[in-house]
Structure 1
Amino acid sequence: MEHLLFLGHRIPYPPNKGDKIRSYHLLKHLAERYHVHLGTFVDDPDDWQHVERVKAYCGETHFADLNPRTAKVRSLGALAGNRALSIDYYRDTTLQAWVDQVTRRHDIRRVLVFSSAMAQYAMHLRDVRRVIDFVDIDSDKWRQYAENKRWPMSWLYGREARQLLHYEQHVAREFDASLFVSQPEADLFKRLAPAVREKVGFFSNGVDTDYFAPAHQFDNPYTQDHDVMTFTGAMDYWPNIDAAQWFANEIFPSIRQAHPAAHFYIVGARPTAAVTALAEMPGVHVTGTVPDVRPYLAHAKLTVAPLRIARGIQNKVLEAMAMAKPVVVSAQALEGIDALPGRELLLAEDAQAFAAKTIGQLKTPDGNIGFHAREKVVALYGWTSNLSRVDALLDPAPAASPKPLAALP
């Protein structure tokens, strides 16, 4: 087996948490084909318990402790230079030294970078095949943040959007291939970086449809007479915070008025004070961290994804669909997901439509939507077929006339 270096901004485990889902399956897939040497950060003390599980997939490893508060302070140094804050946030001299040592020790010729900020550790490597999985266009998320915040944060986020886009474009020029989470995400980056469009492609997120399956039996975490809708995700992530607040404040009251048995459960780790405060509203519940999200999906009447700021594919939507749950989504949450509104999920363009479609599903459930949702996920969102695109890009012997990434299977 050949050697490969994998660099990620967060430990790729457990395989059912946020962006770790994608990185975990990518690591597992690569470990079947290469001796993988992993360099990554651990930014949550709870994640140290997973180190040994991750090591089982790897050769040499380096886990760098990252304190978010310290990293934020350190990143402010970028304001004095022409750099994105995100790059300084993830800068670590010990990780860089490990990268240099392990690439020499194993004569590594393939590098897979997960997320834009980690590209800094491989920019100086030459005579190697470098592929980056940007996942999302992070710079565009900062642009959206800037549009939704007041000064001075709007200025700071706007600066980060510009600086990070410049860096993303530079990385895409230097690397052999750049990947994103969906066709729309890849197409947008091609417009932002037209000079590298032939090197830009995508592979979709997948779902473990055996793990997220309606056939499993779970104890009901809800009170028996509650008609529950859930919203899942990390609740210290601003797009999720904004979505939870918008739904609780602007949509849920009219739902509860029309259907008094309705209850809204916000299920996810690290809820901020703003999210926790929502539980003071009638019918709104905030769980915090739960050991397994599946019981909360299995016993809900439906799930909602009222995101107003989003990039890429929302795992929370795919997981709920895999559990055969009706999902009401915003246009932003639907982006990148191949699902037919009205058949495989419900699309709501505004608060009024969100309330109407949720009330309709609570009063007159349409079981066919959940059935068709799971069918679609099983058909299109398996990890093995999606990850085959990565295999083709890491091949060290490209064809004489390589196809553009969009033409790959």
Structure 2
Amino acid sequence: MGDILFLAHRIPYPPDRGDKMRGFHILKHLSRRHRVHLIAFADDQRDLAHQAVLSGHVASCQVIWRGKHNIVAALQSLATHRAASISAFDNREMAATVAKALKTRPIDTIYVFSSQMAQYLPAKPRQRVLMDFVDVDSAKFEAYAGQARWPMRWMHAREARLLGGYERAVARRVDAGLFVSEAEAALFRSRARGGNIQVLENGIDTDFYDPKAAMERISGMGPLLTFTGQMNYRPNVEAVKWFADRVMPRIREHHPRARFAVVGRRPADAVVALASREDVLVTGEVADVRGWLAAASVAVAPLRLARGIQNKVLEAMAMARPVVASAAAAEGVDDAGTIRVADGEAAMASAICALLADREAAEALGASARERVLARYGWAARLAPLDVLLGDAARDRKSAA
């Protein structure tokens, strides 16, 4: 049995954001039975220090700095007629490093995390290739185009078209294309011409995200509505601005002491500006998001544009918090009725006010949400399909016999 080469568009450590969480747990899962060689980009100087930690999980680890400016990537995209998302990750050092690994290591499987990394596959791979698309990224740019004005409308539409064609071409070349939810997989199947499209869902570390776990507690906040996420990510920025502008005034009519906590690293200027309001807290990066979740009267996910399964929703559920989410944020989460789904400012404000007014019902809803996560979203169960794809399940059955 040969080794696995794991290519990641961002170093999967620390597992403190959605893509890193998924990447890290998949990497750990694969490393339990296989020798795994990790080659990943880093775009944060602090991440360069984590190579030593990851080396404890894998047979070898190489991290390559990616510092290309978005403007440079956009110009290269125009010159080469490629999607800017792909140009942004075009790197000679990465290409040479991958080529050397394939030449010198006994690799029989290449696990590609995020479509940007598919450009480093050999033209005709002799290895098994698993392509983890996670989401249908091209659909995100379609949505952006629908909301934008010229010239951004043209740029987003171009990106959607070029990236969509690239995604479909990659799917036809690999042994399996993986998506984070059945909804994403079904969307891609409706657009693709062929390809083995399968679902590999996200899980949640329920021992870490446990309301009883040791953590720094936050108190004295009063009624607190908490949103967590990477706060320079456009859908998150738009969500918190909309919530602060349109939903919070309605909530404050009934709960004047209520405040909205925006918790996450790298807040965009538009998010920082929200902190001038008396009813909004913008924390920036925090050492441990669990304290803010534990303090939440209600965890909110008012995303209007969302792809795949939202980790922020699973984390809040695991922390036994009552959750109110938009339909977009709830899509793909098999919650069995343990979260409240509301679209539009009036409906969302009403759902939140009802939970603030009935704390017993809110706590019961949070408790049922945690039970659902425990039953449905453990990482080992969610990643079991990987063992089938790699043939491990068949080998286990043969060994048992």
TM-score, scaled relative to structure 2: 0.95
- 1:219 shift after superposition: 4.1
Q: Please give the alpha-carbon distance, in whole angstroms, between the structure 2 residues aligned to 1:248 and 1:300.
A: 16
Contact kept, 8 Å, 2:51 with 2:61, in 1: the verdict is no
The residue number in structure 1 matching 2:358 is 364
Structure 1 residue 16, shift from structure 2 partner: 3.0
**Alignment gaps of 5+ in structure 2:** 396-401
1:119 aligned residue = 118
Structure-2 residue corresponding to 1:181: 180
Pick which of 275-284 and 170-179 moved more. 275-284
Check conservation: 2:12, 2:23, Cα contact below 8 A: yes
1:355 aligns to 2:328 (yes or no): no
Q: Quote how far apart the aligned CAs of 1:125 are.
A: 4.5
Instruction: Pick closer, same or farther for the CA change 1:217–1:257 going to 2, 3 Å.
Output: farther
1:207 matched residue in structure 2: 204
Give CA-to-partner distance per residue, 1:249-285, whole Å, 9 cap, x none: 0101111121011010000000011000011122101
SS of match in other structure, 1:173: helix
**Which is worse superposed, 241-250 or 212-221?**
212-221
| Per-residue deviation, 1:158 | 0.9
Find the aligned partners of 2:239 and 2:193 in 1 and give their Cα distance.
32
User: Which secondary structure state, in structure 2, belongs to the residue aligned with residue 90 of structure 1?
Assistant: coil
Shift of 1:77: 1.2
Counterpart of 1:8, as a letter, is A
The C-alpha deviation readout for 1:284-308, integer Å capped at 9, x for no partner, is: 0100000000000011111000000
Alpha carbons 1:306, 1:330 under 8 Å: kept: yes
Which of 271, 274, 294 is the aligned partner of 1:275? Answer: 271
Q: 2:255 aligns with which of 248, 254, 259?
A: 259
Q: Give 1:218 deviation, angstroms.
A: 3.9
Identify the residue that residue 323 of structure 1 maps to in structure 2. Answer: 319
Tell me what 2:287 maps to.
Answer: 291
- Per-residue deviation at 1:147? 1.3
**Partners of 2:35 and 2:340 in 1: how far apart?**
44
- Closer, same or farther in 2 for the Cα pair 1:117/1:398, shift >3 Å? farther
Cα distance between partner residues in 2 of 1:225 and 1:12: 33
State the Cα distance separating 1:398 from its structure 2 match: 9.4
1:210 alignment partner, SS class: coil
2:343 maps to a residue whose letter is E
- Amino acid paired to 1:333: A
Instruction: Indicate the residue corresponding to 2:194 in structure 1.
Output: 195
- Cα RMSD after superposing both structures: 1.7
Structure 2: distance between partners of 1:250 and 1:260: 15
After TM superposition, give the deviation of residue 21 of structure 1 in Å: 0.4
In the alignment, what sits opposite 1:89? 88
The answer to whether the 8 A contact 2:207-2:213 is kept is no
State the 1:391 CA deviation: 1.9
Deviations 1:190-240 (A, max 9, x none): 0011422xx001111000000001112544434x25210100000000000
Give the Å deviation of 1:66: 1.1
Inter-partner Cα distance in structure 1 for 2:215 and 2:173: 49
- Separation in 1, partners of 2:6, 2:86: 18
Q: Match for residue 171 of structure 2?
A: 172
Distance 1:288 1:54, change over 3 A: same
Separation in 2, partners of 1:107, 1:19: 27
TM-score normalised by structure 1 residue count: 0.93
Aligned residues: 393
Q: Deviations over 1:118-173 (max 9, x none)?
A: 00101424211001110001111111111122211111111001100000000000
The AA in structure 1 aligned to 2:200 is: F
Q: Quick one: distance in 1 between partners of 2:32 and 2:109? A: 15
Q: Which residue of 1 aligns with 2:399?
A: none
**Aligned AA (1:66):** R
Deviations 1:98-132 (A, max 9, x none): 11111111131110000001001014242110011
* Residue 153 to residue 14, structure 1, CA distance change in 2 (3 Å): same
CA contact (8 A) 2:11 2:47 kept: yes
Q: Counterpart of 2:339?
A: 345
**Offset, 1:80:** 2.3
Residue 47 of structure 1: aligned partner:
47
Deviates more, 1:24-33 or 1:141-150: 141-150
Superposition misfits of 4+ residues, deviation over 4 angstroms: 396-399
**SS of the residue 1:195 aligns to:** coil
CA contact (8 A) 1:129 1:396 kept: no
Which residues of structure 1 form unaligned runs of 5+?
Answer: 400-409
Percent identity (aligned): 45
